[in-house]
Amino acid sequence: MAATALAVVVGIAIPTAPAIQAGLQQASRQESILPANIGEGIPSGEAILLDFPGPMDRSAVATALGLSPATDVSLRWNVDGSVLTLIPAPRWAVDERYVVHVPAGTPMADGRGLAADWRASFTTQAAPQVVRLRVDGVADTSSELPVIRQEVMASTGAPDAGTSALSDDLSADASAGTRIGLTFSTAMTAAATEQAFRISPSAAGSLSWEGTTLWFTPNGRLSAGTRYTVTVAGARDVGGNLLGGDTSFSFTTRELALAITVAPGIGQRGVSAAASVQISFSQPMEIAQTGAAFTLTDAASGRAVVGAVAWSTDAKVMTFDPTAALGAGRAYAASLGPTARDLDGNPVTISWRFTTVGPASVASPVPAFPGSSDMAQYALNQVNAARAAYGFAPLVLDATISAVAYGHAADMAAYGYFSHTSRTGVTYRQRLTAGGVSYGHSGENICYLGGASVQATLNWCHAQFMAEPYPGGGNHKDNILSPNYRRLGIGIATGGGRVYVVWDFTD
């Protein structure tokens, strides 16, 4: 390996002693036990020169020379043997302090020995690092979330799945249509760095460079409400130095907007013929696309209802006002098609039916049940929005099943336990049967959250459920998206600073 053109020259004289006549001659006492500093931030591929007072016994120096920490080096001498070059093989470690030691008495070519121990130190260059993570579309999220205990459980008739504590997510709010940039402190080897790049969950995309910034551009949109981790461990700079410092970074994409409430309600009967149709969203919407995607039709004739769309100032509430009164005693289908988008570009779909009041109408609204009916409707809309996104029919809120669900939620809240099985050993299926519910297929999700409102609890629980794999072999998301279910009961109760929620699914 040839030495580079640049080198660090040691400018400290190495003292000599008179020629040894017999026996050993004691070296003169050193003035300091600290090594002299001969350089800082030495490039990892540079050679170090030791300038001796005269020609040395080369084999003796090779034997006596000390280097700490131990590193493979090549020794190169000048013609007369007075200058020794230390060449790292292949390079010095970065962010390291080295000490070179030549002991007293080391023979010179003329028989004399060095009069004293000689030590010198040098430090090597800093390792390359990622100095900036850039995620297009990230909002400032400097406020901290409260530390709360969070647990979820699901059941589809199998044994209890057990509890799991999940930490709060304080990651940045990144757009699902973003690109990710990593800026390095120095020029990197493009091939090695691109080879080291990983993103999890996996996302197909392309890599490109702008100066020392490596950009990852996904081929499509990233998944909404998902935490991604980017890793470049093993990347090297153009000098061959391994990347130091933090090599793994994470960010979380924004939650997918949901239609959280609708009016008239899903399956509602006895609706006024003069009613408007309203959808409330969890995130601001792209009003032009979303308004154009909404339709209201007579369910029997398929005839579209003519009307005008208006929006709230925060773009979260859409209202459709029919031009003329709706027909009496008619069923109507409201639908938000696949071209509806939130401001981040995520699709949002929902469809439901309602029936207007009329002389022939004998239907009545869903009876009230213990707990918050508004929040039960909110929870039902979350489930049906998720089902619509996967192409499944909506579920109907059932008062009898809801009474069973509320009984279990209230019991857990009152006695501070968390299980699909009650304190007396009754399973959810036995509770349904005892409550007068006939069914073939059934399932149950339960969840609680401490230190939060009912709506915040429903939002958190639903987000945890929908983040699970699908199909999941009997998890919460399988219950929500099962084609076997037609009815849903929801029970909400509070106690001990916690909100308990029970979802009971049946066919």
Q: What is the mean pLDDT of each run of 10 residues along the chain (507 residues)?
A: 35 39 29 56 86 89 92 91 89 88 91 85 88 63 28 35 27 62 92 93 91 90 83 90 86 79 88 92 90 92 92 94 90 91 85 78 36 77 89 90 89 88 88 87 91 89 87 82 91 89 93
Q: Can you tell me the distance from the alpha carbon of 185 to that of 65, in angstroms, rounded to the nearest whole number?
A: 35
SS3 track for 409-438: HHHHHHHCCCCCCCCCCCCHHHHHHHCCCC
What pLDDT sits at residue 9? 38
Give pLDDT, residue 342: 86
Classify residue 491 by burial, with Cβ atoms within 10 Å: 0-12, 13-18, 19+. Answer: buried
User: So what's the pLDDT on residue 6?
Assistant: 32
Largest CA distance in the chain: 129
Dist CA 133 CA 137 (whole Å): 12
- The ranges assigned to domains in the chain are 36-124, 130-142+167-253, 259-355, 375-506
51: exposed, middle or buried (C-beta count within 10 Å: 0-12, 13-18, 19+)?
middle
The yes/no answer on whether domain 130-142+167-253 falls in CATH 2.60.40.3710 is: yes
Whether domain 259-355 has CATH 2.60.40.1220: the reply is yes
Is beta strand 7-9 parallel, antiparallel or unpaired with respect to 73-77? unpaired
CATH of 375-506, one of 3.40.50.720, 3.30.70.20, 2.60.120.650, 3.40.33.10: 3.40.33.10
Distance CA 152, CA 159 (A): 15
What is the pLDDT at residue 22?
23
Cα gap 135→182, rounded to integer Å: 9
In whole angstroms, give the CA distance from residue 259 to residue 268: 17
Place of tokens 């439901």: 352
Question: Do 259-355 and 375-506 fold alike per CATH?
Answer: no
Sort strands 213-218 and 180-184 into parallel, antiparallel or unpaired: antiparallel
pLDDT of 373 reads 61
Bridge partners (DSSP) of residue 448 are 151, 500
> For the chain, first and last CA: distance in Å?
77
Structure tokens at 30: 């050193």
Angle, CA of 306, 307 and 313, to the nearest 5°: 155
The number of residues in the chain equals 507
Beta bridge partners of 187: none
**In this structure, which topology does domain 36-124 adopt according to CATH?**
Immunoglobulin-like (2.60.40)
Identify the pLDDT of residue 36: 57
Say if residue 499 is exposed, middle or buried (CB neighbours under 10 Å; 0-12, 13-18, 19+): buried
Prediction pTM value: 0.46
